Amino acid sequence: MTGHTRPAAVACIRGGQQYPDLRGTVAFTPLRCGTLVTAEIEGLPDSETGFFAFHVHEKGDCSGAGFPNTGGHYDPHGREHPLHAGDLPPLLSYRGKAYLAVATDRFCVKDIIGRSVVIHSQPDDFTTQPSGNAGSKIACGTIRKL
């Protein structure tokens, strides 16, 4: 993979009222044919599976309890879940920490500036419409250009 060596955008993740210690960073680095998404998260709650759904949402408003203003998954092409541009692989927690690196051709960095990254309380089932039965929103960060 070739592209820029530095991220062009970042989202600073913060947990909601129930998870004030949940925090992290999601970086977006342009590639020749897409985007490298890297996430470093800590403070994830205990869960039965250790998996947490992880998506880019259409709106960047992380205000309010439960982050009600983020809209749906980023989906500029009108596809069904899990083929939305904003559908990302789940986070896997180990002792409350998760690291993820994934290359995607579903969006370019410029397309997601001002949108949000959301972590959900449950794993994504990759089937249920429109959002994978992923549970409540437990953390959010607005994607900002660097």
Q: What is the pLDDT of residues 45-94, one digit of tens each?
A: 999 899 999 999 999 999 999 999 999 999 999 999 899 999 999 999 99
Per cent of the chain over pLDDT 70 is: 97
Does residue 62 sit within a domain? yes
Does residue 1 sit within a domain? no
pLDDT (0 to 100) of residue 76: 94
Does residue 108 sit within a domain? yes
pLDDT band at 1 (very low <50, low <70, confident <90, very high): very low
Please state whether the peptide bond connecting residue 90 to the residue before it is cis, i.e. omega within 30 degrees of 0. Answer: no
What CA–CA distance (Å, rounded) separates 135 from 114? 23
Range of the domain at 133: 9-145
pLDDT (0 to 100) of residue 33: 85
pLDDT (0 to 100) of residue 38: 98
Does residue 3 sit within a domain? no
Does residue 2 sit within a domain? no
Structure tokens at 59: 């709106």
Mean pLDDT on 129-138: 92
The model's pTM: 0.94
Number of domains in the chain: 1
pLDDT band at 4 (very low <50, low <70, confident <90, very high): low
What CA–CA distance (Å, rounded) separates 48 from 18? 17
What CA–CA distance (Å, rounded) separates 133 from 112? 23
What is the CATH number for 21? Answer: 2.60.40.200
Does residue 31 sit within a domain? yes
What CA–CA distance (Å, rounded) separates 59 from 74? 8
